[in-house]
A and B are shown apart, each in its own frame.
Chain A
Amino acid sequence: MQSTLFHRAAVGLTSLMISGMAVASDWTERSDHNLRPGVTGVSQEVYDLHTTILWIVTIIGLLVFGLILISMIRHRRSKNPNPSTFHENVFLEVLWTVVPFVILIAMAVPATRVLIELDDSSKAELTVKVTGHRWKWEYEYLTYEDDNNVGVSFMSNLATPMEQINNPVLAGGLFPYGTAQDAVGSEFPEKDKNYNLEADKPLYLPSGQKVRFLITSADVIHSFWIPDLGGKKDAIPGFVNETWAIVPEGKEGTYYGQCAELCGKNHAFMPIEAKVVSQDEFETWLAERKEEAAAAPDLTPFADLDEAMELGEQTYAGACAVCHGNNGQGGVGLPFAGSDFATNEEHLEEHIDVLINGRAAMPAFGAQLSPREIAAVVTYERNAWGNDTGDLIQPQDVQDHE
């Protein structure tokens, strides 16, 4: 915020003017005023279309505003005391109906071509199913080259910690509302460069190969959008949408994206981080993930309550805190601190069951968390914030749960 308004406006306008030549293809270059050309063939074409139409509307706008300005100067009463009385001109009226029509056709032709190209998602080498959840993305690798059953899937959460997100409330605490109350009087946090864009587990993609995304949702509508790959597609429950991208070789890198359809409280906090790597690197990465998926779950028992609590705290912060509150005070989800559910022995089995299978708006975590993590988080919820039940749940208990 050091720069002045005029500086910003001048920079913005100048770069809009020369946007035809701008090549800011890397998100880290942070074009903060124009569309990003992106890294795929489609995104380049979209960018070119954008530049063309921006020029067309700029010229039309300047023409119209120029005429208004000339008229305001030359046809004011002090200059032109006797107004004309004309109020019709067939030639002019036909002209300004036909000319815009022709311009429109000229714009529709390239737009149609790009649309037809975008529509063809056949012959993909990699197919990834993308599922939107409130508020994280799930990536499932379905097929890769000749392998029709890759069977690798994982959840991708926001990596930016809450401490960076919560600013201290404005001095004097102007009616802090909701979770903002937690931040009264705290230190102003430093924010990372990729604040709100980084995910804990990125989506790996190979360069030089056609990737098809199958996009759907587990709850409400989300929208899967990586600007550098050239557009967005909605993730709709009950529908599977398709889109595709080829990131050319030599354009390996990290490309960030965000959810683009309002999906509730943490809509702004479910980023997409795509790591595009060479095909060799991608194959190595995929092989490792397959090995992990094939391995039996780690059922090593916890040595003591503290060990379980430590893992539980980490897991809780990543998976549960968004709905149930940092201190178990509740929010979108039910409260735990001091609740009957989290302290009464009778509800212990139910507690484990809800975590594994979900209930109503509570999603099922059986596929997302390992038995060890589920055991730890149940232990944590039953012992933190003064609950102190002393219950220690072991991974085997979760594994044995029906």
Chain B
Amino acid sequence: MSTAAAHDDHHHHAPTGLKRWLFSTNHKDIGTLYLWFSFAMFMTGGLLAMVIRTELLEPGMQFVDPEFFNQMTTVHGLAMVFGAVMPGFVGLANWMIPLMIGAPDMALPRMNNWSFWILPFAFLILLSSVFMSAFGAGNPAAPNFGWTFYAPLSTEYGPASTDLFILSVHMMGISSIMGAINVIVTVFNLRAPGMTLMKMPLFVWTWLITAFLLIAVMPVLAGAVTMMLTDRHFGTSFFNAAGGGDPVLFQHVFWFFGHPEVYIMILPAFGIVSAIIPTFARKPLFGYASMVYATASIALLSFVVWAHHMFTVGMPLAGTLFFMYMTMLISVPTGVKVFNWVATMWRGSMTFELPMKWAIAFVILFTCGGLSGLMLAITPVDFQYHDTYFVVAHFHYVLVSGAVFSMFAAAYYWLPKWSGVMPNKLLGELHFWSSLISVNLLFFPMHFVGLAGMPRRYADYALQFADYNFWISIGGFWFGLSQLLFLAVCVLCAMKKGEKAPARSWEGAEGLEWEVPSPAPFHTYDTPPVVK
């Protein structure tokens, strides 16, 4: 991608070297930065997960102590949610939204630069606590209270590094909000003539709705960590029962952010899959309008289901019933989406290139995660499932074989547009099959140990869980190593090694992004295209 500047036929010279990336206001360069950053965090979070899986390979403590284990589960979750998945989707939005709606760039390019460059520093702050814990004198603990940082474990009992965590979360929040504002302004103001809202590709639609969710809930997260900060240092008692506060309030505030957050991490995935399946089925997307309405209703419902994460805190019966019914209701629009994808494939003329393989794997495995989510919604049974590995299996199915798989699909689909060369087929096939098998070996048995009663975030477990945990760990190492193949694919593309890609890189691909050459020139759509 570094030679993209060479194609620049514009009158001014794009800066080169480090300056090009540091001061970039170009949506393509910033998108590239986001994507590499996301991949780096994916590998970092993965490395922490490997520590977890090594410790859980056998019963007993053999590799790290339980305190360090808790730090690993915490930072793994934070790195994956805030470092890998969210920036990954923002990167895709940066690259693709202007190309898809015929805009010359994002509407607020300088803010775009800032919203990216905050992130590496936010994670430097967070990860510094892990380095200090692993290598520093006296091993000061890194955040060790789980990515959900429930009070009072994170407030009165939190380690000193909690303050680093709070600062880091604030920075991530600012970055996300700026990114979201940029998407909304771009979509509402920079669409090419004729690109009406109901003509926009679904990826743009899902991102527009995601951006509204981000603006609504990131300030709530910021509020939660600010209350933590004042509880820790300024004598307030928001979450301290001894001071008249309420530890359960923390969970309500956190999950009011946290539940829309899980849709923030999956709605763009719906958009990606809705772009890829029609391309390779050579048939228009089934039910475009109903897809838009389903996305919007999922987003609205996401604000009234938060307490299903906390059924066991002891809510009144009426509250419990309300949240159970609302949660079950979410499966209706989600089901509509899955049925629409199947109907798009039906009587199409399908071929199974790499993006299509990932997209179909997404549909199937995400549905598995959705169905276990429906099981979790049934409150009396959730009293058994809650906080066991069944929950861990559920959210890894929707987040790894869901969100992450959709990003792989997107990468294989748009890499030709980004780099100008087709991704390496052999490595890509290996990466797909290896990931597909290992991800199931890794996460499917978690359903079993969870049902059998293994609580999550356990550094050690009773003997009847031993066999499955062994195989889960093997699956984990295998899945982790498989991702090096993806790194190789990306590096080859970045080095322009491979078959040259035509402008319309996939035979059935539709949309404005395929009208510009591959790789996409540094500046596109200086004069807007006309959409009929």
Contacts and interface: CB of A to CB of B under 8 A. Distances in A.
Interface stretch (B61-69, B81-89, B178-186): B61-69
Query: Which of B64, B367, B467 has the largest number of chain A CB atoms within 10 A?
Result: B467
A72 B470 contact: no
B223 interface: no
B383 A221 contact: no
Contacts of A49: 378, 380-381
Contacts of B247: 221, 236-239
Contacts, number: 328
Nearest to B351: A77
Interface string A40-65: 00100110011001100100110011
Query: Which of B65, B360, B375 has the largest number of chain A CB atoms within 10 A?
Result: B65
Contacts of B461: 196, 268
Given A111-B380, A231-B384, A234-B312, A177 B134 contact: yes
Contact of A32 (B314, B351, B360, B467): B467
A195 B465 CA distance: 11
Interface stretch (A258-266, A296-304, A392-400): A258-266
A169 interface: yes
A3 B350 contact: no
Nearest to B63: A180
Contacts of B59: 191, 195-196
Given A83-B282, A165-B61, A191-B59, A32 B468 contact: yes
B448 interface: yes
A195 B449 CA distance: 16
Contacts of A236: 241, 247-248, 313-314
A21 interface: no
Interface stretch (A94-102, A122-130, A382-390): A94-102
A368 interface: no
Interface residues of A, number: 112
A256 to B, nearest CB: 8
A401 interface: no
B459 interface: yes
A8 B380 contact: no
A268 B286 contact: no
A258 B342 CA distance: 42
A214 to B, nearest CB: 11
Interface in B291-312: 312
Given A101-B332, A111-B380, A196 B462 contact: yes
A83 B351 CA distance: 12
A60 B335 CA distance: 10
Nearest to A164: B60
Interface string B386-421: 111000000000000000000000000000000000
Interface stretch (A84-92, A279-287, A306-314, A371-379): A84-92
A315 interface: no
23 contacts: A30-B464, A35-B381, A42-B380, A68-B345, A77-B282, A87-B284, A104-B328, A115-B320, A118-B380, A167-B58, A170-B62, A177-B65, A179-B61, A180-B62, A219-B157, A221-B153, A260-B386, A260-B388, A262-B70, A262-B146, A264-B70, A264-B145, A268-B461
Closest 6 CB pairs of A and B: A238-B241, A231-B383, A178-B65, A33-B448, A167-B60, A167-B62
